[in-house]
Amino acid sequence: MNSFGDHGLLGIAVDPQFATNGFVYLLYVYDVNQASPDSSAPMVSRLVRIQLNPDNTVANPANPETVL
């Protein structure tokens, strides 16, 4: 595993209209060099929006994450 910098989930935010649209925003860091996870390549952060199912328990598989 890349030991340089941050890893994983950095933040979660719920959309102000969550009750009607089910949107949740995630900010996470991942290793861009998946073929060599022990590399010293920089980590990259990504902000995405996901939509939960109407029961608000799981991500909606029909709507993959949207990179913002």
Per-residue pLDDT tens digits for 29-61: 877 766 665 666 667 888 999 998 777 677 777
Q: Which residue has the higher pLDDT, 44 or 23?
A: 23
Name the token pair of 6: 């941050």
> Model pTM?
0.73
Task: Report, as an integer, the average pLDDT of 1-12.
Answer: 71
Q: Is the pLDDT of residue 12 over 80?
A: yes
Q: What is the pLDDT of residue 30?
A: 76
Asked if residue 68 has pLDDT above 80, the reply is: yes
What are 9's strand-pairing partners? 28
The amino acid present at 25, given as its one-letter code, is Y
